[in-house]
Structure 1
């Protein structure tokens, strides 16, 4: 077999990859591959020259969304594939999951074509406890803010936040803030080709009245190793099975995706609730799990060897 050529896809702000991903280049080279970091919208890159292009730190795509989707559809062998990117990069996927009975964080959807006035927005916010406002297409917790329902000033700021996003033509999510995010934190479970690899713990990122504006590509996260529970692994596997069967262009015969991250929080009820399903360019936190970098490198090379998934139709 000829030397595999592998592109790890990033953005112009991180041309050498995000620091956590940089060791992946050497791990792939040690396995006999030719690996390089490539900026997704660099016009000089010949994507046809790579055996596989692996999405990693393309975190500016929310600012160039239509261009990014068109680019993804043009790359000969992109993983995860374009139809998955299209479905998962818009958080309306959470609505699809909830409609099929999966435990998903409670969300109210505000669409720009509805032309909400201030009173209509006020009436769609929770009457008590904290809530979060974010755009449906976002990454790195940008344009995300936490507000307190019973505080008049906080509620006013929330209305202004939603109005700004809607005026930009962006769909808005209003999510109930689960208190256990503060007391327990979130669990992020990482899967490689459908097999559980490792998990990390994420501390709460949003304080009440946090400014929704983030300086940079993403809001910094506080992470630590985590021992996933059987309930968390079972919930994550159920969510991934749903996605595998129902993402447009995929069917149950499609092989599991190269990488996936399932972010969960477990409230007092004891049933894990999905916060986000990350299938586009999930951070995998290798430094917090011994052997995970090597497992991912092996999974990438296995993806090259297996060739295109003929049961996955990369829909334009």
Structure 2
């Protein structure tokens, strides 16, 4: 039997996708075991593949995580592969994606004149260290503080349309579309600090044709095997879609929202192996 590791972190109880994934893997003839990515006792060479999933603490020690990924890939199959993780764990990849993305300013100097700003570091997740402000001076100060700490800032306009339109996340397994959800942004009014994606009221949403076209163009820019991908899109003020993030490292896959999604995920893994 094929044996795969589901790489998680030291709080696996916060990942409600582990059990449905492992069950779907069993149905597909794959013996799956959840293990901490930083467990020094883990023998990664014992697996046919290591699947990077809820490694949500990597943002606190990215270099250590990448060193781990490189070492794992030297002894077994890593999905998504190291070359993807190295690029995708720093959001500066958006500069080179080659498709429309949310307008982004990458320093504290000469900020554009926007009604509201969102400031965050390029290595982050779950709205950690992310601030929304209407003040240009405050936005610049926040970005400068990130630079002083040795971090690269991202300064973006706050898009009012996300409060009515929401964000659309398209899920792909082995580059095939599985399902899409609509979710409210973390910084929308009424959401508590630290809210999770499920707290943000995700629900199934059929994507529009222009969203599918953009998502698939974004995926086409990645020349590596992709077991999973989540393309997060928003609409700009002119109504056109733009990529907010191309999640290829540890995204929630919203498997509970779509019957059959876990089975499709397992089937994609089976194909790649």
Q: TM-score, normalised by structure 2?
A: 0.91
- SS of 1:133's equivalent in the other structure is strand
Which residue, out of 58, 64, 78, partners 2:61?
Answer: 64
1:41 offset after TM fit, Å? 0.4
After TM superposition, give the deviation of residue 72 of structure 1 in Å: 0.4
The alpha carbon displacement at 1:268 in A equals 4.2
Deviant stretches of 4+, over 6 Å: 216-219
Give the Cα separation in 1 of the matches to 2:127 and 2:19: 22
Check if 1:6 corresponds to 2:4.
yes
Give the whole-Å Cα distance in 2 for the aligned partners of 1:200 and 1:215. Answer: 20
The residue that corresponds to 2:169 in the other structure is: 188
Deviation at 1:20, TM superposition (A): 2.7
Contact 1:142 1:219 in 2 (8 A): no
CA contact (8 A) 1:146 1:207 kept: no
Larger Rg: 1
Equivalent positions of 1:51-130 (< 5 A) are 51-75=48-72, 76-97=76-97, 100=98, 102-110=99-107, 121=108, 124-130=110-116
Deviations 1:38-79 (A, max 9, x none): 100000000000001111100000101110000000112110
User: Which one is further off, 179-188 or 264-273?
Assistant: 264-273
User: Cα distance, 1:163 vs. partner?
Assistant: 3.6
- CA distance in 2 between counterparts of 1:226 and 1:296 reads 19
The size of the alignment, in residue pairs, is 269
Alignment check: 8 A CA contact 2:183 2:197 kept: no
1:176 maps to what in 2? 157
Give the alignment of 1:219-258 within 5 angstroms: 220-244=199-223, 250=224, 256-258=225-227
- Which of 184, 187, 190 is 1:206 aligned to? 187
* C-alpha separation in 2, matches of 1:19 and 1:274: 26
Residue equivalent to 2:47? 50
Residue 187 of structure 1 and its aligned partner are, at CA, apart by: 0.4
CA distance in 1 between partners of 2:237 and 2:34 (Å): 43
Tell me whether 82-91 or 293-302 shows the greater mean CA deviation.
Answer: 293-302
Q: Is 1:148 the equivalent of 2:129?
A: no
Secondary structure in 1 matching 2:133: strand
Question: Which secondary structure does the structure 2 equivalent of 1:57 belong to?
Answer: coil
In the alignment, structure 2 segments of 5+ residues that lack a partner are: none
Tell me the distance in 2 between the aligned counterparts of 1:54 and 1:181: 32
